A and B are shown apart, each in its own frame.
Chain A
């Protein structure tokens, strides 16, 4: 820790590019280690707002989370801890020779240690008409990555015409991954007619099997969200073109989805490669993101899918530059989730403070955050099955649940739970802690919990069963009494917590079960 630090050493300049969740965590971890005594820390965020909890944006969209409750740390907090937080500061380039970064406004910021936490950027699907000639998105099209995106989408939803009716009443979500489902559910909950278009054969194809995907699609349908899988959006047309299209003969093999809202034909129409055309007002792109690597690439660092880092989370090209979060590639993998980014943040803070720690990959738990949609994905099932994991699964398409555990050497190494999250907490604990289970345990985990048989009630209690724990009184002794008052005075039953009073009343004057059976038999 800081003990190794000698005050006369010049303080190092630590510059962090990006102010997302990974950076926030990194700064918290540095502050916790008093590393601000070692480093002058500068955080450069291109968004104009204080660092916030990005993963709750879909909950804000759904209306279950107040947007004001997103902020993770206020600018004052950074100032209090001596961290120079610069918002709206977009970095143009990194000059490794001069060890500085340049902002769009030309400002040069020198560093001794650089951390790239540039996150990911939404992938734009190859849809014709999506991007205008000037490079901007079609105005019916929304990305969903930042608070700004979320606010623009909320504004679009809330915009009304002169009669007070919402202008935008229909939405198509492109992408059936976790984010796509959350956004679709949120839009559905906001009262929009929502459809999902997913290029793969089923929803969440990176995480779950097709059987689970089908169950999920059905759940969504029940919630009023239609799902088109195995279909790619290829073209977006303005409604004016679309109106023309209505009058045209539809080409061979093309299907026009019957418009359930004929008076609101939608502002745009979306052509799919399976011949369907969907009318809509809004198009939301959630078709994944990719690591944001332009800066690293420009600086000559090795980049494959992400910025390639070693176990010290340092660039394999330049050990003076670290990277973490969505933008990195470690051991051939990129993640795109908060928990591993936070784990990296803790480890990187340790590395920056000369602790002997290293990163060896994280266990990933992905949970869908959407009301009435139950999905949990633990680990990488395909990879684990390929590595010899055995599958224990219970699928009930009738009740709409699919639960699958991948078990290797007695440990749950991956799991998919759709439609039924009972025991999700316990299964996650076993997964995170790599508990070695017994041979029957994985199966038992997927079985319903046996509940106590409450129907049997007092009548069948054996005489030696304890009825009143406070006073230690058995059913037999109560059966031997003639009145509630006698029970109270002679046995002290019911005089403690009082919880047994109703059982005592039922027992009074009833024969013991053995006698009851005899009487029934006679």
Chain B
């Protein structure tokens, strides 16, 4: 066995982006080792990280473009030129017949910053379409929207993750980080060793909740009411940091009045949280010097997700926490590049640097970097679900290009979305394996995976990190960047598209300069030397910004905003026909739509299951391990029951890594973030 020097890089999966060291093993194999010095995970990894090398050399890897044969209707092998020529020709004729917006682009929160940036530029310049969005809408977009409204900027964590070890009370609203990003749980353990307290709010007693000093188990979809009730009691007790509120915020009076009607017994009736549990939480918060409130998908994936996050931000602000050392509010972003993915222009309403596409100054700046006229840039497009909903028969775009997303598994109301995909004139999917979405495509383009290419990611802390190429890609695959450049050339793009990540990153830095997410001072060299650089980092000599808001917020007046939130509740409430709440989420051994993880032997793939409480199982006659059917107004699925006492008796849980869960989920959207209500709908369960 020959071992070359290990390459320092990062895990391909979640937003924690654990540091890892990849070394060559034998001729084609790679070995994953610890990178102890990387501060976020300090050498720890979950089994997804340790086994991430297994996809290397997998027989399921796609290594040749595939084109659907007109005669047989089957996918057949094709050369890159044939595939790209075909795609470009069809895009051109569709746009000629139906206008620029007849072509849409769908990106992903797992793409590198360079790819996200190129994709946004490709859509606006090479295709000239406004129709681009990405699956990050289904991730943390509600927290992003809330952060922008309250703080004037959206960086998931405005402080390094390790800061939570030094806080006094951390409140996790809808996060199961011990399973979804296990090494992060070590920070909770160290906090507790220091004597700090952990509060977990979740309809399920998860392995994260097992670490909690206080666990609250609300009705799904009521975290907002809980936040209002917490603020009510804090005010009732006189625990508001009046000095901070006066000096650093606006809008508190209206918020204070608005929570006067959320007394504990009303909160109890709405949320199912008994008043003494609520009081226990408020007592913890009132007595603590430093409180850190963290939200994740449980709080955010709702039709009132943005409002829910804002209600909890109000709690953090009322306690005087944001901007204080080892305290504040943060969002635990989900996808690997969930943070960077939303900053560089693959979002329907944004340009690089977290600029808004309807802002003339932003358009002028970005257009000058791209070398095009500002007026040539299209305007705002539709958000992810609305875009997919409009495809083909929906009256919208006729062609869709998909990069880094498995829509068939991950979209809400999936049966409906799948029908829309099937009604397209042209579906092009870039992927590393034959995902459920690729299987529907007219053209499938095989692309490189993480260790086979370089690029930057921005982790949940806003730390820009470098994924280094460690191994040569298999023959026949190309980077998404090559696909973009190849198509752009064939579409007679007015500008050229680079395929060199570092070159693209430098351009991205220029495009982001002066924007909220300013990368201008970051280089690959600096990232490697400094183990990541936190944005904003406007100049090469700027140290980066690990901790934000210490002096001022990113709003025009520098103050954080209290915003009044009204509780409406889940869009779909249980009734006689659909009497239980359905919630969805992840399991430890799988990641997102499972396109990668389900193909790794070292990760258990037991398939979907329906978690329910013994009382509910007894009611419907279900037995542990025996199949049950879950039905909603949108679809149904069958899976074995998993009978556990750790879930609310009025709620069932289904993991979403397998086809099925999202046939059930509700496509009701948050008015501000356009996030679908993945986390709660009404369901019927029967044997």
Once A65-B236, A425-B273 are accepted as A-B contacts, the answer to whether A498 and B46 lie under 8 Å apart by CB is no
Once A71-B260, A449-B645, A498-B185 are accepted as A-B contacts, the answer to whether A66 and B236 lie under 8 Å apart by CB is yes
Question: Which residues 158-203 in A have Cβ within 8 Å of B in the complex?
Answer: none
Shortest CB–CB separation between residue A449 and chain B, in angstroms? 7
Contact B50 A492 (CB under 8 A): yes
Contact B618 A74 (CB under 8 A): no
Contact A59 B236 (CB under 8 A): yes
B207 — which chain A residues lie within 8 A by C-beta? 469, 497, 499
Q: Which of A145-153, A322-330, A435-443 interfaces with chain B?
A: A435-443
Judge if A49 is at the interface, Cβ distance under 8 Å.
no
- Pick the most buried of A339, A426, A496: most chain B CB atoms within 10 A of its CB: A496
Shortest CB–CB separation between residue A423 and chain B, in angstroms? 9
Judge if A365 is at the interface, Cβ distance under 8 Å.
yes
Our pick among B264, B272, B579 for the contact of A435 (Cβ within 8 Å) is B579
Q: Which of B74-82, B251-259, B365-373, B544-552 interfaces with chain A?
A: B251-259
Judge if B98 is at the interface, Cβ distance under 8 Å.
no
Contact B44 A424 (CB under 8 A): no
Judge if B183 is at the interface, Cβ distance under 8 Å.
yes
Question: Which residues 407-434 in A have Cβ within 8 Å of B in the complex?
Answer: 421-422, 424-426, 428-430, 432-434
B629 — which chain A residues lie within 8 A by C-beta? none
Contact A428 B186 (CB under 8 A): no
Once A69-B260, A471-B47 are accepted as A-B contacts, the answer to whether A77 and B254 lie under 8 Å apart by CB is yes
Shortest CB–CB separation between residue B218 and chain A, in angstroms? 8
B588 — which chain A residues lie within 8 A by C-beta? 469-470
Judge if B148 is at the interface, Cβ distance under 8 Å.
no
Our pick among B189, B263, B271 for the contact of A499 (Cβ within 8 Å) is B189
Contact A367 B183 (CB under 8 A): no
Question: In the bound complex, what is the Cα–Cα distance between A77 and B253 (angstroms)?
Answer: 10
Judge if A108 is at the interface, Cβ distance under 8 Å.
no
B289 — which chain A residues lie within 8 A by C-beta? none
Could you say which interface size class chain B belongs to?
Answer: 35 or more
Question: In the bound complex, what is the Cα–Cα distance between A53 and B43 (angstroms)?
Answer: 54
Judge if A444 is at the interface, Cβ distance under 8 Å.
yes
Contact with A along B603-624 (1 / 0, CB 8 A): 1100000000001001110000
Judge if B58 is at the interface, Cβ distance under 8 Å.
no
Judge if A120 is at the interface, Cβ distance under 8 Å.
no
Judge if B265 is at the interface, Cβ distance under 8 Å.
yes
B253 — which chain A residues lie within 8 A by C-beta? 74
Judge if B422 is at the interface, Cβ distance under 8 Å.
no
Once A66-B237, A471-B50 are accepted as A-B contacts, the answer to whether A495 and B272 lie under 8 Å apart by CB is no
- Pick the most buried of A66, A338, A435: most chain B CB atoms within 10 A of its CB: A435
Contact with B along A60-85 (1 / 0, CB 8 A): 00001110011111100100000000
Shortest CB–CB separation between residue B430 and chain A, in angstroms? 31
Question: In the bound complex, what is the Cα–Cα distance between A426 and B277 (angstroms)?
Answer: 14
Judge if B648 is at the interface, Cβ distance under 8 Å.
yes
Judge if A509 is at the interface, Cβ distance under 8 Å.
no
Report the nearest A residue to B239, measured CB to CB.
A66
A52 — which chain B residues lie within 8 A by C-beta? 260
Contact with B along A32-59 (1 / 0, CB 8 A): 1000000000000000000011011001
Once A426-B648, A436-B579 are accepted as A-B contacts, the answer to whether A495 and B618 lie under 8 Å apart by CB is no
Our pick among B183, B263, B574 for the contact of A53 (Cβ within 8 Å) is B263
Shortest CB–CB separation between residue A61 and chain B, in angstroms? 13
- Pick the most buried of B602, B615, B620: most chain A CB atoms within 10 A of its CB: B615
Contact with B along A435-473 (1 / 0, CB 8 A): 111101100110001101000000000000000011110
Judge if B576 is at the interface, Cβ distance under 8 Å.
yes
B274 — which chain A residues lie within 8 A by C-beta? 421-422, 424-425
Contact B47 A472 (CB under 8 A): yes
Report the nearest A residue to B603, measured CB to CB.
A472
Report the nearest A residue to B236, measured CB to CB.
A65
Contact A66 B183 (CB under 8 A): no
Shortest CB–CB separation between residue A58 and chain B, in angstroms? 11
Judge if B395 is at the interface, Cβ distance under 8 Å.
no
Question: In the bound complex, what is the Cα–Cα distance between A365 and B269 (angstroms)?
Answer: 8
Question: In the bound complex, what is the Cα–Cα distance between A426 and B210 (angstroms)?
Answer: 21
Judge if B427 is at the interface, Cβ distance under 8 Å.
no
B638 — which chain A residues lie within 8 A by C-beta? none
Judge if B261 is at the interface, Cβ distance under 8 Å.
yes
Question: In the bound complex, what is the Cα–Cα distance between A421 and B276 (angstroms)?
Answer: 9
Contact B604 A495 (CB under 8 A): no
Judge if B275 is at the interface, Cβ distance under 8 Å.
yes
Contact B46 A470 (CB under 8 A): yes
Shortest CB–CB separation between residue B182 and chain A, in angstroms? 4
B574 — which chain A residues lie within 8 A by C-beta? 433, 435
Our pick among B182, B186, B263 for the contact of A56 (Cβ within 8 Å) is B263
Shortest CB–CB separation between residue B385 and chain A, in angstroms? 26
Question: In the bound complex, what is the Cα–Cα distance between A492 and B383 (angstroms)?
Answer: 41
Question: In the bound complex, what is the Cα–Cα distance between A484 and B589 (angstroms)?
Answer: 23
Contact A498 B189 (CB under 8 A): yes
Shortest CB–CB separation between residue A9 and chain B, in angstroms? 29
B615 — which chain A residues lie within 8 A by C-beta? 438, 441, 444-445
Report the nearest B residue to A367, measured CB to CB.
B265
Judge if A369 is at the interface, Cβ distance under 8 Å.
yes
A69 — which chain B residues lie within 8 A by C-beta? 232, 235-236, 256, 260
Shortest CB–CB separation between residue B532 and chain A, in angstroms? 21
Question: In the bound complex, what is the Cα–Cα distance between A427 and B261 (angstroms)?
Answer: 23
Question: In the bound complex, what is the Cα–Cα distance between A497 and B179 (angstroms)?
Answer: 8
Shortest CB–CB separation between residue A161 and chain B, in angstroms? 29
Question: In the bound complex, what is the Cα–Cα distance between A440 and B620 (angstroms)?
Answer: 11
Our pick among A71, A365, A426 for the contact of B272 (Cβ within 8 Å) is A426
Judge if B268 is at the interface, Cβ distance under 8 Å.
yes
Shortest CB–CB separation between residue B654 and chain A, in angstroms? 19
Contact with A along B35-62 (1 / 0, CB 8 A): 0000000011111001000000000000
B265 — which chain A residues lie within 8 A by C-beta? 365, 367, 369
Question: In the bound complex, what is the Cα–Cα distance between A452 and B614 (angstroms)?
Answer: 14
A449 — which chain B residues lie within 8 A by C-beta? 645
Judge if B374 is at the interface, Cβ distance under 8 Å.
no
Shortest CB–CB separation between residue B32 and chain A, in angstroms? 10
B257 — which chain A residues lie within 8 A by C-beta? 71-74, 77
Contact A495 B45 (CB under 8 A): yes
Once A367-B275, A425-B271, A471-B47 are accepted as A-B contacts, the answer to whether A437 and B619 lie under 8 Å apart by CB is yes
Contact A426 B650 (CB under 8 A): yes
Contact B650 A429 (CB under 8 A): yes
Can you report 7 residue pairs joining A to B where beta carbons are below 8 Å apart? A32-B566, A426-B650, A469-B182, A470-B45, A492-B50, A497-B183, A498-B44
Beyond A421-B274, A435-B579, A470-B46, 15 extra complex contacts between A and B, CB < 8 Å: A55-B263, A69-B235, A70-B260, A422-B274, A426-B272, A426-B648, A428-B268, A432-B269, A433-B575, A438-B620, A492-B47, A495-B44, A497-B182, A498-B44, A498-B185
**Residues of B that sit less than 8 Å from A by CB:** 34, 43-47, 50, 178-179, 182-186, 189, 207, 210-211, 219, 232, 235-238, 253-254, 256-257, 260-261, 263-266, 268-269, 271-276, 566, 573-576, 579, 588-589, 602-604, 615, 618-620, 645, 648-650
A-B interface, 5 closest residue pairs, ranked by CB to CB distance from nearest: A425-B272, A438-B619, A497-B182, A497-B185, A367-B265
